[in-house]
């Protein structure tokens, strides 16, 4: 992704892909995300509408920082605006396809052929987020909370602040993914819980 950006790949598309990877959100939850729904300080997105209704979705510090740093276009409500017009960005599948083709291409300094990256969709990024969470040892219930799945019996719809345990989990997952994307080793981080 860093090489693609240096060579002129669409910056909005690359930023949206990074956001999908760091949050585990669905494609349109990121692409059609109004800046007003981002609460970077509380590290959450306050969705007014999702597949399962209004929702408070915890996001990690890396994700919150990435989203908060998105440049703002005058009078444009979207975090990921279209290149032309007033809507949000829509060309994400093409950007992802080009990234996968690029990653599958043989580079001159490689001795062996790189593996082909095939059948990767934008939804694969959501699955990858969940897989990293599972690898880190988080429960299915925690992963469901991170992904915004409706969990019977959970009263999250009444909360006005994100659950601190879910925010801590989101921090660990987004830190692991950001470290991999940035080509660096993940460093440990102490996460303070908020008092109830």
Long-range interactions of 8-12: CB distance < 8 A, separation 24+: 9/95, 9/98, 9/99, 10/83, 10/91, 10/95, 12/80, 12/81, 12/83, 12/89
Mind giving me the DSSP string for 51-73? TTSSEEEE--HHHHHHHHTS---
Q: Return all residues near 42 (Cβ < 8 A) that are at least 6 apart.
A: 161, 162
Question: Domains in the chain, please, with CATH?
Answer: 2-181 (1.10.443.10)
Adjacent-strand bridge partners of 81 = 88
Q: How far apart are the C-alpha atoms of 46 and 36, rounded to whole Å?
A: 9
pLDDT of residue 143: 95
Per-residue tens of pLDDT for the chain, all 196 residues: 988 999 999 999 999 999 999 999 999 999 999 999 999 999 999 999 877 778 899 999 999 999 999 999 888 999 999 998 889 999 999 999 999 988 887 565 665 666 677 889 999 999 999 999 999 999 999 999 999 887 655 544 455 677 889 999 999 999 999 999 998 876 555 556 666 5
Cα atoms in the 13 Å half-sphere on the side-chain side of 194: 12
The position carrying tokens 């990690």 is 60
pLDDT of residue 196: 57
pLDDT of residue 151: 66
Burial of residue 6, with CB atoms counted within 10 A of its CB: 0-12 exposed, 13-18 middle, 19 or more buried? exposed
pLDDT of residue 118: 81
Q: How far apart are the C-alpha atoms of 136 and 155, rounded to whole Å?
A: 25
Q: How far apart are the C-alpha atoms of 52 and 60, rounded to whole Å?
A: 21
């Amino acid at each position: 992704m860093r090489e693609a950006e240096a060579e002129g790949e669409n910056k909005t598309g690359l930023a949206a892909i990074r956001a999908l990877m760091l949050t585990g959100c669905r494609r349109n939850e990121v692409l059609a995300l109004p800046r007003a729904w981002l609460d970077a300080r509380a590290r959450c997105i306050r969705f007014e509408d999702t597949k399962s209704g209004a929702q408070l979705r915890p996001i990690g510090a890396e994700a919150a920082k990435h989203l908060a740093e998105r440049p703002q276009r005058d009078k444009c409500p979207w975090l990921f605006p279209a290149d032309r017009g007033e809507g949000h960005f829509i060309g994400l599948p093409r950007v992802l396809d080009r990234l996968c083709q690029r990653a599958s291409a043989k580079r001159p300094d490689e001795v062996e052929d790189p593996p082909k990256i095939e059948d990767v969709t934008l939804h694969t990024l959501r699955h990858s987020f969940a897989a990293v969470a599972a690898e880190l040892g988080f429960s299915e219930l925690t992963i469901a909370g991170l992904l915004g799945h409706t969990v019977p019996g959970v009263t999250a719809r009444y909360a006005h602040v994100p659950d601190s345990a879910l925010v801590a989990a989101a921090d660990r997952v987004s830190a692991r993914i950001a470290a991999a994307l940035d080509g660096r080793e993940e460093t440990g981080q102490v996460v303070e819980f908020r008092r109830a």
